[in-house]
Structure 1
């Protein structure tokens, strides 16, 4: 078996999909990842169809298409996820566009139908003039319960790994998320963020400020990172937030409200003036959106009708597409206030 691209068993690998040959590379990478995850042969065959059609649609219909191939894991199984992102032309009538027989490129028009039949789960959002984001998952068995949080990261152009990372956990009745931006770029920045994720998952179920204290003590041997931890408590109607460094956090309510959350100056593992935890209102249907400084705050949810009702994966990838920069690692996490 050919070796996997660097990062494929971790945060995944992005492919620019502009020619049919690149679509083949996406399919092969998905197949290799599935084999590494010991998925059964018949599901690898289904995944091959999903990957080929997903990437093929980008080459035929889209502008500036990219695909992220990465693993997804549940308690008792692992699958493969593909997130396809493009910058146009977008679709005004999703139901018609996704039906068999509809084509804008003179083909048979069976791509979306094949994807939906073979995939275990999928989600798609499209805005005419802005583009489309679609995520599809192929699992070896039954589809796990949908997650309440997910993130997407992308390395600086020219780098094979990203120094940004995210994590989510449920521990001791607490739903907590982490966003990390390792200082600099490349392998050392990635190592700092990977260590942050590891320690985050091992830390006892304590409030965000105490989690951040534990991370600060643990990252002293690394390059250091900007970090933020948020805890969603829908029953209490609050999100608790603690951050050090340039991580941005925002609460987006279902009625269009937007409220920023405060991170303190510092570098986790090296420079810590103070760690403070703040509480913010969390209304039903709200989402918590966190991102690194590789994503700018020029994104407006009002420009994307219906987006906030979609999966965290689709929301995060949409923000990364339109607000992420290519001059830095970029990472976005979305957590939903589900009761």
Structure 2
């Protein structure tokens, strides 16, 4: 019954909004009108959008800014101090009515961050301007008032999203904001760095020899070391624990794998002296928090997700470019010819070239340089 009611809810509001498409929407131009952000993305994408959120507040310090995002991201989204967050996993009357009630006079600006499925909502709202990246979809071409082209040359993901605010947004950006850092049940009095195991996808997991190398180098730093990340298959986790046990001569290492909530993890990362990780969402959160970070990109494209963005503080990345097995060229479903990455959950090759082709000596030099800067 629950799923039937959900189906009816979604279908009825979809039909209603579709019919409204043929009735001209009231356009508003009130300078004080609220701002709506459609951002139906994943945890890492939310962090990548963080610099956009910060800049948007600089541009509109006195306007109400409202975010629509997935239900499970509403809690981490509070970091950015939105005036309201609408939690939504599917189109419903509740979502439409909540958006109407939050801003009865409509929305002066709407920004769509790679979330086209929510554009239908705008048929039922009054709004002034819709800004979105270019798309071939007919529905987008009809309603978008400001279209931002996807880059034809390599560009960092945060920069692509920031482009929604225009070219001047890059030149005038300043990190003058107070983030709402979540509370954590873990308290550490000693300075610490984090080595993050990360991900639920085997193709993105640390190779064990690389983890051992990184842990050994990190042990030379006179700080506590926290190991964080999701629970893994027992065989992999047992081997990680063996490496930790071999190196834990001075009780410097605390293993928190599978023991932290998202709120715990964000809090710990925001207060860390540094973070070392494979490419996963927590790296992007470290960049938002201005926590020094070092990442091994593995499957990901260095141009898109590397640490070279000018607003990052002490961010470095290593990755192998131009691998034949990196044949995915889409960013949120939109084609980018300059990009090259892998979308496999499980590597189909005998060995993962994106890690095995990293030079051990360069790893040592780059990582020692990073650790010495902390």
* Structures share fold, TM-score greater than 0.5: no
Point out the structure with max Rg over C-alpha.
2
Q: TM-score, normalised by structure 1?
A: 0.29
- TM-score, structure 2 length as denominator? 0.27
